[in-house]
Amino acid sequence: MSVVSQSPVARHVKTGAYFGVDNEPLVLLELIQRLKVRDVMTPKLVTVSRDAPMRAAQELMRKKKISGIPVEENGRFFGLVSIDDIIRALGGGYIDDPCSRHMTTKLVVLEDDMPLSFALRYFDRYSYGRFPVLNRDQRLVGIICQRDINRVLLVELTSELNRLESASGQNVMRDGSSNIYVLREFPICKYDFESAGKAANQIKQILQEKKFPPKDIRRVAVAAYELEINLCVHSDGGVLSWQVANGRSEIIARDAGPGIEDVEWACRDGTSTASEWIRSLGFGAGMGLVNVKRVSDEFEITSKKGSGTTVKSVIQIGNTPP
């Protein structure tokens, strides 16, 4: 049995990890893209040095109730002593040998800034119970196991649900009657040109069904499309959320990185950081944000290099559909 299919939460995530499945819970998809391995891993590590006897590792495992211990010295990672290694040592009578002689050194490791979806795929692909986590400098910074993922996802899902519930509650209250027509969230993955444009098209269709003026529909669709492509081309993945209430369309494109250094420059016509192959697909002409600004009644962008970017586009689309 694969590790991932052992818990109900993880099983749900597993199918979502392959994306492009329209009926997967969007909140979950967004979460496993947004959360990084470092948000989920256990950072306080119990480790042993190379010289420590296997018996010391066994003692630590018993005391801390853990099933594997990294062998590490000053952040440098050498290997892992697992329960299997200990059992073999006890059976083979070499429990007092140093860890360096019997530790597992053929290891699959994760990097701390990979999205959680990566980790889920790894748990699915390999039958390991845990993965050591290294940072960019190849220093050991944590360890991640199934339990960590379940715990963090449950916490995040609960708070996300609370947020969604209170958000829709507020809108209903402000309005007196529940005058919200639509509230949608679309997760957008990096370089997923296969799905690019889907969100904008859905938004357009919904507005057409509700018979809003075609001119306004085009403005909303343009803003949605450009922001969707931006998330796809420039961000590490993010979410496009859209809501319509009282003739006001609000699109928010939010991502978790890498952020824009000079927002003013990025909003200027013709400026672009897109690579050649993205340009060859007809994108990256440096007109995206300019287009969004042009069709919006209100436009806001906040960004910070190293963290994320949020773009808001508000478009008035007539008070109520006829």
Positions touching another protein (CB under 8 A) are 193, 196-197, 200-201, 204, 214, 218, 221-222, 225-226, 229, 281-283, 285, 287-288, 290-291, 294
Measured from the CB atom, the residue of 280 and 320 that comes closer to another protein is 280
Report the nearest approach of another protein to the CB of residue 214 (Å). Answer: 8
Question: How many CB atoms lie under 10 A from the CB of residue 172?
Answer: 13
Between 8-16 and 116-125, two packed helices, what is the crossing angle to 10 degrees?
110
Measured from the CB atom, the residue of 73 and 269 that comes closer to another protein is 269
Report the nearest approach of another protein to the CB of residue 201 (Å). Answer: 6
Looking only at the bridges linking them, the beta strands covering 110-111 and 130-134 are parallel
Measured from the CB atom, the residue of 6 and 280 that comes closer to another protein is 280
Report the nearest approach of another protein to the CB of residue 181 (Å). Answer: 20
Measured from the CB atom, the residue of 78 and 283 that comes closer to another protein is 283
Contact 143, 45 (CB under 8 A): yes
Report the nearest approach of another protein to the CB of residue 270 (Å). Answer: 10
Q: To the nearest 10°, the Cα dihedral for 241, 244, 249, 250?
A: -30
Helices (H), 235-308: 263-266, 276-280, 288-295
Nearest to 131 by CA among 121, 13, 154: 121
Report the nearest approach of another protein to the CB of residue 218 (Å). Answer: 7
Nearest to 253 by CA among 272, 270, 230: 230
The structure tokens listed for 248 are 């006001």
Measured from the CB atom, the residue of 238 and 284 that comes closer to another protein is 284
Q: To the nearest 10°, the Cα dihedral for 85, 86, 90, 93?
A: 60
Report the nearest approach of another protein to the CB of residue 287 (Å). Answer: 4
What distance in Å separates the CA atoms of residue 21 and residue 196, rounded to the nearest whole number?
Answer: 14
Measured from the CB atom, the residue of 110 and 260 that comes closer to another protein is 260
